[in-house]
Amino acid sequence: MICGAVFQSLYDRMPNPTIAQLAHAVVMRKEWSDRHSKTHSTKEHEMLRKSGHLVTPEALERLVAFGIAPVSDIVLSDEHRHAALQANRTPSDDCERRL
């Protein structure tokens, strides 16, 4: 991940979604991810791929609040470890949503 943006459909937030709703939520997340990835340049994607990390430090700082923390990046990179330690423990902005 380059920027740490997160998407959840309303189906993801339902307490007891049906199998069909869960399947639809998966499709919606994939579609959002494909659209969102186009907001980043090819160079950004290439740099992240070449870094060997799963996320950038900036993305990690946003993701920690959602309980997403790639341990490999934190263990292998001082910059990522610092970002994780400095991150807010609650989201400062909510994830993108739609039904």
Residues 5-28: pLDDT tens digits? Answer: 888 888 988 999 999 999 999 999
Stretch 25-33: mean pLDDT: 94
Nearest-CA neighbor of 83 among 38, 53, 40, 41? Answer: 53
Q: pLDDT tens, 65-86?
A: 888 889 999 999 999 999 999 9
pLDDT at 88 over 80: yes
Report pTM: 0.76
Instruction: Decide if 6 contacts 66 (C-beta within 8 A).
Output: yes
Stretch 44-62: mean pLDDT: 93
pLDDT at 94 over 70: no
